[in-house]
């Protein structure tokens, strides 16, 4: 296997800047705060940072509605401060990747302001305009078309009304994208996470979707569209002039289509974020809620591990800014430390490049605000005001508590002082009241904390060829409580065993391991874990163990 691509042996930390750390005392996270915390990020054992959008934006979708691609949002600093952060990150040996959001812009972007003026304007074809809308629904806000008075036409928005879709069929738009890539690469960034990149080419004629499908009814006509690989090749060509890493976000992507982006003649991405494992309890748009199924989660993990092995490389993640906190989803707030550490082990040792989302490393949990009006995320409002309207307010709020993206966007909990040490001023959003217990400072001081467990996992992974490059195999896939997987490389094997149960579970060894005594190298409980010839003994609630076998 080719394993010399630099990103493959790495791990990344995702910063959603508004809630990371306020450095200039206005209650909003910023690049001054990031600068202060770069050593902390480095201390986790990660090798790079992914910045969710930090560009000027009216924040209809908190940065994913960009009004200037070549600048920094004044709330977060300026280009000079960004360069300072970039320089220091590089000095510390951290790569920096930016978010590239080019499926849509903000409606306040100068291109759209011009485009909406009329049909005889240099920007008139930068967006997708029609006299008559089709029946597509948007993912965030009702119909996917909005009538614009000044232009006298409808524009397409797959996301919010304030996020008009760019017309990527227009070569001028693609030139703009290339110019954005060059701008940041010339400044020294190391790559891009490319937002909903599999949506950028739409089927000609924009046919109606199936009427009975909810928000996703247009998806067959804009996911992996007819010209996607041509456009992606153009962007890849620019990136190839630099040492640039490209990671695509692929909502609803399948193994088959993801492999087209990552291999062969159509290779245009180094990795892709897939969504299959996010379906183990919820869907992206939050209107359906399912109870968690470990078997489903494992199936998704294993499907991607097997399919990509030797052909491409997985982007591993459990959390990001689009999903509620994982401990609150399918860990346990009661067994907070145990489940937080177990969840780390459940994905950090798979084959691929792990991504950690800010706060995940200290086990931050969901916030539960009383009123819907206290929430700021557009999709939470759509969820509350559109779906299951017959349910009681309490029931609808319970769904928000369980599923809102805002739960992942509360200010980072740095210490037990006022505002969790995030800011001296009133933070822009609610701090989770559990910050006195769950915070970086407290966990730094506790050798058995979730924070220190993440560090141990990342360090173990980094120094082991088996954990970095080894093959993956799952055992007991239909077990409803235990996730057991093996990594193998030459004569060294690791077996990672994670209990997702809140009660003790007896765990057998796979037959291949009968009579072999492994060495327990990592455990999230005090090390009195029993293991005999045939079994690993009883696993305590949310216990995780990593055994090493030298064959």
Question: Which residues in this chain contact ligand NOJ in the complex, by CB under 6 A?
Answer: 61, 64, 101, 159, 195-196, 249, 321-322
Helix (DSSP H) and strand (DSSP E) numbers for the chain: 16, 18
The answer to whether 92 and 47 have CB atoms below 8 angstroms apart is no
- Distant-in-sequence, close-in-space partners of 4: CB < 8 Å, separation ≥ 6: none
The strand pairing partners of 248, in sequence order, are: 194, 272
Instruction: Indicate left, alpha or beta for 148 from its phi (over 0: left) and psi (-120 to 50: alpha).
Output: beta
Minimal CA–CA distance to 155: which of 116, 119, 117?
Answer: 116
- Distant-in-sequence, close-in-space partners of 69: CB < 8 Å, separation ≥ 6: 55, 176, 180, 183
To the nearest whole angstrom, how small is the minimum distance from the Cβ of residue 218 to ligand NOJ?
15
Nearer to ligand NOJ, 164 or 352 (CB): 164
Check if 36 is active-site: no
Name the residue whose CB lies closest to ligand NOJ. Answer: 64
Check if 190 is active-site: no
Q: Which of 99, 146, 194, 195 is catalytic?
A: 195
To the nearest whole angstrom, how small is the minimum distance from the Cβ of residue 534 to ligand NOJ?
46
Nearer to ligand NOJ, 42 or 162 (CB): 162
Nearer to ligand NOJ, 146 or 322 (CB): 322
DSSP states of 323-361? S--HHHHHS-STTHHHHHHHHHHHHHTSSSEEEEETTGG
Nearer to ligand NOJ, 281 or 322 (CB): 322
Give first-to-last CA distance, the chain, whole Å.
22
To the nearest whole angstrom, how small is the minimum distance from the Cβ of residue 257 to ligand NOJ?
17
Nearer to ligand NOJ, 409 or 548 (CB): 409
To the nearest whole angstrom, how small is the minimum distance from the Cβ of residue 321 to ligand NOJ?
6
To the nearest whole angstrom, how small is the minimum distance from the Cβ of residue 232 to ligand NOJ?
17
The answer to whether 521 and 528 have CB atoms below 8 angstroms apart is no
Q: 3-state class of 383 per DSSP?
A: helix
Q: What b-and-e string marks burial along 383-414, b requiring 16 or more CB atoms within 10 Å of the CB?
A: bbeebeeeeeeeebbebbbbbbbbbbbbbbbb
The Cα–Cα gap between 88 and 7 comes to: 19
Nearer to ligand NOJ, 73 or 509 (CB): 73
To the nearest whole angstrom, how small is the minimum distance from the Cβ of residue 506 to ligand NOJ?
40
Q: Which of 47, 107, 249, 270 is catalytic?
A: 249
Instruction: Give the position of tokens 């930068």.
Output: 126
> Among all residues, which ones are annotated catalytic?
195, 249
């Amino acid at each position: 296997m080719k394993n010399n691509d630099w990103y493959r042996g790495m791990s990344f930390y995702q910063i959603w800047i508004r809630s990371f750390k306020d450095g200039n005392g206005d209650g909003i996270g910023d690049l001054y705060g990031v600068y202060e915390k770069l050593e902390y990020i480095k201390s986790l054992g990660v090798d790079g940072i992914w910045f969710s959008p930090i560009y000027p934006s009216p924040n209809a979708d908190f940065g994913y509605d960009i009004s200037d691609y070549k600048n920094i949002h004044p709330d977060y600093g300026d280009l000079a401060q960004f360069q300072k952060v970039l320089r220091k990150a590089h000095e510390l040996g951290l790569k920096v990747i930016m978010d590239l959001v080019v499926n849509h812009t903000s409606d306040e972007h100068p291109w759209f302001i011009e485009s909406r003026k009329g049909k005889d304007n240099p920007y008139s074809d930068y967006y997708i305009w029609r006299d008559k809308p089709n029946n597509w629904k948007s993912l965030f806000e009702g119909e996917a078309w909005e009538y614009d008075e000044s232009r006298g036409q409808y524009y397409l928005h797959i996301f919010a009304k304030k996020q008009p879709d760019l017309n990527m069929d227009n070569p001028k738009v693609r030139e703009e994208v290339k110019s954005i890539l060059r701008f940041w690469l010339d400044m020294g960034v190391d790559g891009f996470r490319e937002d909903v990149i599999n949506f950028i080419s739409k089927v000609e004629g924009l046919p109606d979707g199936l009427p009975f499908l909810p928000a996703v009814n247009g998806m067959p006509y804009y996911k992996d569209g007819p010209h996607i690989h041509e456009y992606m090749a153009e962007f890849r060509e620019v990136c190839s002039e630099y040492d640039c890493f490209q990671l695509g976000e692929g909502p609803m992507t399948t193994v088959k289509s993801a492999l087209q982006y990552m291999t062969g003649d159509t290779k245009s991405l180094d990795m892709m974020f897939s969504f299959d494992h996010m379906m183990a309890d919820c869907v992206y748009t939050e209107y359906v809620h399912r109870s968690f199924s470990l078997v489903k989660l494992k199936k998704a993990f294993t499907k991607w591990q097997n399919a990509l092995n030797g052909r491409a490389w997985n982007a591993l993640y459990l959390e990001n800014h689009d999903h509620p906190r994982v401990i609150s989803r399918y860990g346990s707030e009661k067994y907070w430390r145990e489940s937080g550490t177990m969840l780390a082990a459940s994905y950090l040792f798979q084959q691929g490049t792990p991504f950690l989302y800010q706060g995940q490393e200290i086990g931050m949990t969901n916030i539960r605000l009383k009123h819907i009006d206290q929430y700021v995320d557009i999709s939470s409002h759509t969820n509350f005001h559109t779906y299951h309207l017959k349910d009681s307010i309490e029931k609808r709020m319970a769904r928000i508590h369980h599923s809102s993206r805002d739960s992942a966007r509360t200010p980072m909990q740095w210490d037990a002082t006022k505002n969790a040490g995030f800011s001296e001023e009133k933070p822009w959003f609610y701090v989770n009241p559990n910050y006195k217990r769950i915070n970086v400072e407290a966990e730094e001081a506790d050798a058995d904390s979730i924070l220190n467990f993440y560090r141990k996992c990342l360090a173990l992974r980094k120094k082991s060829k088996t954990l970095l490059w080894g093959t993956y195999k799952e055992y007991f896939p239909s077990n409803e409580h235990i996730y057991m997987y093996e990594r193998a490389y030459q004569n060294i094997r690791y077996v990672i065993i994670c209990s997702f149960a809140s009660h003790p579970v007896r765990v057998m060894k796979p037959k291949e391991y009968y009579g072999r005594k492994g060495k327990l190298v990592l455990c999230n409980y005090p090390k009195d874990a029993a293991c005999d010839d045939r079994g690993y003994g009883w696993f305590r609630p949310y216990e995780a163990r990593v055994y090493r076998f030298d064959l």
